[in-house]
Structure 1
């Protein structure tokens, strides 16, 4: 029985020693890094220009459709039932086309954003990996993430910004 107790104490000590070694944990505010990167500012400007352009096109098409609808409504009492139905179908088709143009514009903007974000994200991730290896961090959490419950580790945001030259 005494040998069993000694063995149990030895096993507990081995596990306790393993858990007692402190792990280096850091946090990074990725949102802060994104907003301070010139590449992100340039991407935002490009996306704003694209959105303004697409919005102008859509407004022009929408105005044209509204003018046509007003014209058809004003002329409706003077037209035959068949012509009014034909015009109604034409207006419906134009409305559907406008909705498709809107969806295509949204898709274009999203694709442009995703394509522009990919190299920026890679650059940030590479910088985080380099800083983490240099400082021997075992874990780095995104401080701007809602999944982060407790933040008391070292904040590596400044080091990552320095690595990126920001």
Structure 2
């Protein structure tokens, strides 16, 4: 019985090594491929423009609020307590509006980013799948990932670029 257990363990180890050797692994420089895609460049440019316009709107509102704060601070000694309290409430409301604008801008940019990159990601993944199938790779790892310890297998970057027509 003991010999049978040892024999079974040896057969299992042999099969495991055989299966491991049968699997083909490749690495891929994901960032390099994505940066070559014209769709990504266009999406990056559009998102940068959107971000800059949102930032400009918020800065404009902040400058207006700062101007009011300066004006109200200078006039405060000449005003009644009631007027100063109303002005403080107005300034707090402006601050809340600016914070809401910032949150809305972040949400809008995040939604636009997701919408812009979804088709790019799909196209990229489809190209990786086609390249892996045509080259017989079982696994393709990102060459830039910190979890990759050894990069000795074939490089899939050229094959994926070919699938994307880059």
TM-score (ref. length: structure 1): 0.90
* Cα separation, 2, equivalents of 1:20 and 1:113: 44
Deviations 1:41-81 (A, max 9, x none): 00011011111111111111111111111111111111001
Taking structure 1 as reference, are residues 83 and 138 closer, same or farther at Cα in structure 2, changes over 3 Å only?
Answer: same
- Show the counterpart of 1:112: 112
| Root mean square deviation of aligned Cα | 2.0
Question: Gaps (5+ residues) in structure 1?
Answer: none
Give aligned pairs, total: 164
Displacement of 1:158 in angstroms is 0.8
* Cα separation, 2, equivalents of 1:12 and 1:94: 75
* Cα separation, 2, equivalents of 1:50 and 1:112: 9
Deviations 1:68-104 (A, max 9, x none): 1111111111100111011001101101110110111
Displacement of 1:17 in angstroms is 4.9
- Show the counterpart of 2:48: 48
Say if 2:143 is the partner of 1:128.
no
Taking structure 1 as reference, are residues 138 and 79 closer, same or farther at Cα in structure 2, changes over 3 Å only?
Answer: same
Query: What are the within-5 Å matches in structure 2 for residues 1-166 of structure 1?
Result: 5=3, 8-9=6-7, 12-13=10-11, 15-17=13-15, 19-20=17-18, 22=21, 23-166=23-166
SS of residue paired to 1:154: coil
